[in-house]
Every structure is written in structure tokens, then in C-alpha cells.
Amino acid sequence: QVQLVESGGGLVQAGGSLRLSCAASGSIFSTNTIGWYRQAPGKQRELVARIISGYSTNYADSVKGRFTISRDNAKKTVYLQMNSLKPEDTAVYYCAAHGARDYWGQGTQVTVSS
């Protein structure tokens, strides 16, 4: 059974940093595209960043230059380093693994105060 568990969320002041982790278990990982998504209250879930099996990455325009996604296949973990955080980054952040089917984590709250 595949499980994704996010961690690292919390409350931070604007301009601060957080690093989110997405730890995977089960028969998944190195060949899967892993994405970080976020959903703010009253808004649709949106893609923040994703990393493809060959380490190619994509970012939403709103986070380019501030967020960095990376993966450690040996640890089955994907990270999202978030710097220069803004209040508009406040959301629940989810990781998802995409392949023959999609798997989602339970989410971790990120709150950025002004």
C-alpha cells in the first residue's frame, strides 16, 4: 500500500522559510512524478512545483525563484524548500505521486503572517 506523509508546515512570519517533506512508503517513488500542491481557503487546489523522475522540475510562476523542489530517492522523500514566504503562500500543502494512479498525502498547514 502506498502512503505519502507530509511534514514541516507551521506558522512563520513573512520573509521567513520553511522546508516541507513528503515521505513515501510502498511500491512507489523513483519513477513517479511527485508534485506539491496547495489549497487556500475558498480557492481551488493549485500546482506549486513538481519533480519528474529524471529530476526535471516545474514551478508555478508565483513561487519561481523562492521555492525549490528536490528529491532523495534513497530516502523516498521529496522536499519543498520555501524561502521569502508571503502571506499569500498561506494554504494547506499536499504532495501527490503521479503514475498509473495518483496518490495524495493528508496535507500540512502553512501559515505566513504579515
- pLDDT number for residue 29: 67
- Mapped onto helix, strand or coil, the DSSP state of residue 85 is coil
Give the helix/strand (H/E) hosting 111: strand 108-113
Asked whether the predicted pLDDT for residue 23 surpasses 80, the reply is yes
User: How would you label 50-73 residue by residue, b for 16+ Cβ within 10 Å and e otherwise?
Assistant: bbeeeeeeebeeebeeebbbebee
Return the higher-pLDDT residue of 47 and 73: 47
- pLDDT number for residue 39: 98
Mean of pLDDT over the chain = 93
Residue 67 pairs in a beta bridge with 82
Mean pLDDT of 69-96: 95
Which tens digits make up the pLDDT trace of 85-114? 999 999 999 999 998 889 999 999 999 999
- pLDDT number for residue 32: 82
CB-neighbour burial class of residue 24 (10 A; exposed 0-12, middle 13-18, buried 19+): buried
